[in-house]
Amino acid sequence: MATDETGQDQKLPPDARLDSLEQRLDRLQEAEAKRTGKAQANPNTRIWSLMFSHLIGAPAGGGIIGWGLDTLFGTFPTFFLIMLFVGFGVGVVNVMRISKTPPGNSPGTGS
């Protein structure tokens, strides 16, 4: 009898017991998911939270870095304003990048 690379016979008929077991297992997994109430996360919610975090975090980070540079060099509003606007630009670019990705392939998920 011919065998494939796994060493199993290719021409054996499918086992009805195995099919029945798979169907029962699927039913039990569905019932368990309903019982535990596992809700699927909405990918759009994750995208919106990423967008808002970039729009708030990037200018805030730039402002903090600019404030630190101004404190270091004694030129208060100069670096603060420059880095604030750079941070805002970075946030907008990141939001544009995030908005171009499909919901299932969110950045940072590895999907």
**How distant, in Å, are the alpha carbons of 15, 58, 93, 102 from that of 47?**
45, 16, 15, 10
How many beta carbons lie within 10 A of that of residue 71, not counting itself?
12
Whose tokens are 């054996």? That residue is 12
Q: What is the pLDDT of residues 10-68, one digit of tens each?
A: 666 678 888 888 899 999 888 887 888 766 677 788 888 999 999 999 999 999 999 99
User: What pLDDT sits at residue 18?
Assistant: 85
The whole-model pTM stands at 0.57
- Sign of dihedral through CA atoms 26, 28, 29, 31? positive
